[in-house]
Homo-oligomer: A and B are copies of this chain.
């Protein structure tokens, strides 16, 4: 089956690696690294997955009152462009971001009661997707798959 549960918090190693990657990206594009940028990136990488710009902003505000929403927003966009974060929109229509490593693809189980988001990957499904695309002469570049329902916890407390 090869599925994997919710990722644990980003390891320190992964975070350092990502910050390095961002640094290269900035240099390559002639962009600058700033205190705000660095802080937002750190918070984002530590915070874990599927945060909205708003959520991240609120979290950051607690510690650093001088970082504006716009900067958080722009930094997330930047991370996305640099390939370090994925932008995702689920049924609630909010744009969420999650740290992304190169090969790391996964889909989501979304609880309609508590809102929890669990990640999974299933290679067999991916192979079938390819086949379907082929049948239509379609070249698939990416996909999106979300299962909506009730997580173990919410289902049990019913």
Contact = CB atoms under 8 A, between A and B. Distances in A.
A150 interface: yes
B3 A132 contact: yes
A4 to B, nearest CB: 10
A99 B82 CA distance: 39
Contacts of A3: 132, 135-136
A31 interface: no
Contact of A152 (B138, B146, B155): B138
Given A89-B89, A122-B128, A128-B124, A5 B136 contact: yes
A124 B132 CA distance: 11
27 contacts: A1-B132, A89-B89, A89-B93, A91-B144, A93-B93, A109-B136, A109-B138, A111-B138, A118-B136, A118-B138, A120-B132, A120-B136, A122-B132, A125-B125, A125-B128, A129-B147, A136-B151, A136-B152, A137-B151, A138-B149, A138-B150, A138-B151, A139-B149, A140-B149, A141-B148, A141-B150, A143-B145
